[in-house]
Chain A
Amino acid sequence: MLDHVNGVVLGVFVFLFLLVTVLGFAAARWRRAESLDNLDEWGLGGRGFGTFIAWFLIGGDIYTAYTFIAVPATLYAGSVVGFFAVPYTIVVYPLIFLFLPRLWSVSHRHGYVTPADFVQGRYDSRVLALAVALTGILATMPYIALQLVGMQVVLQVMGIGGGSDSWYVNDVPLFLAFAVLAAYTYSSGLRAPALIAFVKDALIYLVILVAVFYIPHQLGGWGHVFSSVSDSFDTFNSENADAIAAGEAVPKGTMPVGPAQWAYASLALGSALALFMYPHSITGVLSTRNRSVIRRNAALLPAYSFLLGLLALLGFVAIAAGVKVENPQQSVPQLFEDQFSPWFAGVAFAAIVIGALVPAAIMSIAAANLWTRNVYKAFINRHATHAQEATQSKVVSLLVKFGALVFVLALSKDFAINLQLLGGVWILQTLPAIVIGLYTRWLHRWAVLAGWAAGMAWGTWLAYGVASPVQKHFGGPLVFFPGTETKVYIALLALALNLVVAAVLTVVLRAAKVDEGVDQTSPQDYHADHGDPGVEEELTPESAVHA
């Protein structure tokens, strides 16, 4: 399997990979590590992260390796709708700016570690909290799987993994990378991705800046890139005119036209709303030192959006450079291999793989926290000792990663991508409980639960019914808006149903005077900041949720 492996590429890659491995384990000693062994610091890194570290950590959370592979892949494949990632990562920051400081305050007043903790405290319903927690774990697993897909694509282009008949030869490099990731997440907790995020970003920025200036320059400038892409797409569209007319092929274009604009906008809005419902994003935000760190980052994080946009356009650059790959996801790694000298290609590949390790680690930690707090402690062992909870979280972080690995190795990649899409639909259904709950207690707890169930069921059903040229079910994120010929993002439709059900049932349940539970939070809690009485410096995953 090592026939067409370039030694220099591999050497640089392995060197950088080993470097972050050492960093991952050393992270246990970074910033007050003495209490790590009893999990005090494992899950949220001590919650003392300032603006600078939080920028890297949250950036590593949002802009994952998968983004770096999949977004350019859609452009390479001629579907410009994938560029929605840029408006999506613009729209998300005003939302963060407004909502998340409130969540930070109430969480630090009451010792909440997960979004489901907040739901439990606010709505006094273990069942609703369980629904939010399970949705979070369910939506996170395929997200981790996609990080592994991103790694796998890079390894294939490097010539290690893939191209062989035996599955274990194909998958051994991925398995190794996975084992290393699992080991240092286990030993260092959230500190590992926080520290590695520095290296990741330094490498990614370096690679992207070189890629977007050097490669287009080699090819005759961005103007030439865009014109050759247009020519290529026009040729494709005229050659396949019959198939397109028959609906068997999708026309390619460099801009969303007509109804596709609704798809573009609804994907951007739906994804932006969903992003901060994901447990790993909330873990990143709650690990900050105070409210201002979050708001400052809302102004600083768009720097990554710039990077993401440029990266997405590398999909076009690959077309202009004549990259020909069967799997569009390989277009950017292949572009790097073709255009860069071997040592820099090694740096670029390492950057993408390390870029997958950071979010995968944070995601597995967040899912483990949800399990320990809202399933294990709430239902299975209400009197668990600290040691038992520590073990739970660490072991579950391994299980979640292992589950993701099974996804990638056992199921088709299209399936993994579609589960990710479903993940977005699912996680958005927790928005009423979390975001609306941050502002008002008007919604009744059982109405929120019913709305969640309705949104989950309808969203999954809609997604199941989407066929694509390659598969019958879960073929894409878009469906026709009921009664129209305009396609929109399923997640938004399901959320609309969710909100209607929650509002209508709230009126009914209130009229029927059904017990709405005791709200543990007070209005003041939503404004508290670091240094106020009762605001915990550190929130620990194994401490009890107190009233």
Chain B
Amino acid sequence: MSSRRHWTLIGVLLAPAVVLPLWVPLYDHEDPTFLGFPFFYWFQFLLILVAVAVTVPAFWLSRQADRLDRVRHGLTPDAGDPTRTDGR
């Protein structure tokens, strides 16, 4: 199996962390407020948490994708471990 599907999935996962912060009209509002913060501010703080939440699964996927890429380029699946060739 190619790593392309993994990287596509990683791209889909990470996309909100790039697109949403740049999409200013989406959050350029006063209401609803939260703990006194206008929406504009607390939404951007929320986006930080969203970015972390999508990066964690992307990290696990990237480890699998890296293994597939390594095999494709003639390396062992795991660095520094020439005995392991089972791709896991």
What are the residues of chain B within 8 A of A527 when measuring CB–CB? 66, 69-70, 73, 75
Contact with B along A470-502 (1 / 0, CB 8 A): 000000000000000000000000000000000
Give the contacts of A263-286 with B (CB-CB under 8 A): 264-265, 268-269
CB contact between B14 and one of A97, A221, A224, A523 (< 8 Å): that residue: A97
CB closest chain-B residue, reference A309: B45
What are 19 of the A-B contact pairs (CB < 8 Å)? A83-B44, A90-B17, A90-B48, A91-B21, A93-B17, A222-B37, A225-B36, A226-B37, A255-B30, A256-B24, A268-B21, A290-B79, A296-B59, A306-B45, A309-B45, A529-B79, A529-B80, A530-B79, A535-B79
B37 x A87 contact (CB < 8 A): no
The residue from B44, B59, B81 contacting A309, defined by CB atoms under 8 A apart: B44
Q: In the complex, A302→B59 CA distance in Å?
A: 15
* Inter-chain contact A299/B44, CB cutoff 8 Å: no
Asked if residues A90 and B21 are in contact (CB atoms below 8 Å), the reply is yes
Within 8 A of B (CB), among A88-109: 90-91, 93-95, 97-98, 101
* Complex contacts, A290 vs chain B, CB 8 Å: 79
Give the residues in chain B near A86, CB-CB below 8 Å.
21, 44-45, 48
Over the window 15-45 of chain B, the binary record of Cβ atoms lying under 8 Å from chain A Cβ atoms (1 yes, 0 no) is: 0011001111100111001011110110011
Instruction: Give the Cβ gap from A232 to chain B, nearest Cβ, in Å.
Output: 15
Chain B nearest CB from A148 CB (Å) reads 29
Identify A295's interface contact among B44, B59, B73, B75, CB under 8 A: B59
> Are A223 and B55 in contact (CB-based, < 8 A)?
no
Check A87/B59 contact, CB under 8 A, given A97-B14, A226-B36, A530-B80: no
Q: Which residue of B lies closest to A532 (CB)?
A: B79
**Closest approach, in angstroms, between the C-beta of B61 and any C-beta of chain A?**
10
On chain B, the residues within 8 Å of A94 by CB distance are 14, 17-18, 51, 55, 58
Q: Given the complex, which residues of A lie within 8 Å of B41, measured CB to CB?
A: 83, 309, 313
In the complex, the chain A residue whose C-beta lies closest to that of B72 is A527
Docked-complex contact B73 and A524, CB < 8 angstroms = yes
Residues of B within 8 A of A113 (CB): none
Q: Report yes or no: B44 in contact with A87, Cβ–Cβ below 8 A.
A: yes
Q: Report if A306-B48 is in contact (Cβ < 8 Å); known contacts: A269-B22, A291-B66.
A: yes
State how many angstroms separate the Cβ of A262 from the closest Cβ of chain B.
Answer: 8
Contacts A269-B22, A530-B80, A532-B75; A299 near B14 (Cβ below 8 A) = no
- 1/0 per position for A501-539, CB-CB distance to B under 8 A? 000000000000000000000011001111110010000
Q: Is A257 part of the binding interface, using a Cβ–Cβ cutoff of 8 Å?
A: yes
**Chain A residues with a Cβ closer than 8 Å to the other chain, count:** 48
Cα of A523 to Cα of B74 in the assembled complex, Å: 10
- Asked whether any CB of chain B lies closer than 8 Å to the CB of A254, the reply is yes
Say whether chain A's binding surface is mostly helix, strand, loop, or mixed.
helix
Within 8 A of A (CB), among B50-79: 51-52, 55-56, 58-59, 62-63, 66, 69-70, 73-76, 79
Determine which residue in B23, B24, B45 has the highest number of CB atoms from chain A within 10 A of its CB, and name it. B24
Contacts of B30 in A (CB 8 A): 255
Interface residues on chain B, number (Cβ under 8 Å): 41
Q: How far is the CB of A91 from chain B (nearest CB, A)?
A: 5
Q: How far is the CA of A296 from the CA of B59 in the complex (A)?
A: 7
- Residues of A contacting B14 with CB < 8 Å? 94, 97-98
Contact A90 B55 (CB under 8 A): no
Q: Is A339 an interface residue (CB 8 A)?
A: no
Closest residue to A89 on the B side, CB-wise?
A: B48
- For A305, what are the chain B residues with a Cβ–Cβ distance below 8 Å? 48
CB-contacts of A236-270 with B (<8 A): 254-257, 261-262, 264-265, 268-269
Q: CA–CA, A256 to B21, complex, Å?
A: 13
A298 at the interface (CB under 8 A from B): yes
Contact A261 B36 (CB under 8 A): no
A156 within 8 Å of B (CB atoms): no
A91 near B17 with CB under 8 A, answer yes
Q: Shortest beta-carbon distance, A210 to chain B, in Å?
A: 18
A125 touches B (CB below 8 Å) = no
CA distance A254 to B33 in the complex (A): 14
The answer to the question of A79 belonging to the interface, with a C-beta cut-off of 8 Å to chain B, is no
Contacts of A223 on B, CB cut-off 8 Å? 33, 35-36
Contacts of B28 in A (CB 8 A): 255-257, 261
- Seed contacts A305-B48, A523-B73; 4 additional CB < 8 Å A-B pairs: A90-B47, A97-B55, A268-B22, A530-B79
Contacts of B24 in A (CB 8 A): 256, 261-262, 264-265
* Residue among B52, B73, B74 having the largest count of chain A Cβ atoms under 10 Å: B52
Contact with B along A283-313 (1 / 0, CB 8 A): 0000000111001101100100110010001
Q: Bound complex: CA of A530 vs CA of B74, how far in Å? A: 16
B23's closest neighbor in chain A, by CB?
A: A265
A531 touches B80 (CB 8 A): yes
Inside 8 A of B18's CB, which chain A residues have their CB? 91, 94-95
Chain B residue, CB-CB nearest to A96: B55
Q: CB-CB < 8 A to A93: which residues of B?
A: 17, 51, 55
Per the bound structure, the CA–CA distance linking A511 and B18 in Å amounts to 37
Set of chain A residues within 8 Å of B81, measured between Cβ atoms: 531
Q: Which residues of A contact B66 (CB under 8 A)?
A: 101, 291, 527, 529
Given contacts A257-B28, A306-B45, A532-B79, contact A87 B22 (CB under 8 A): yes
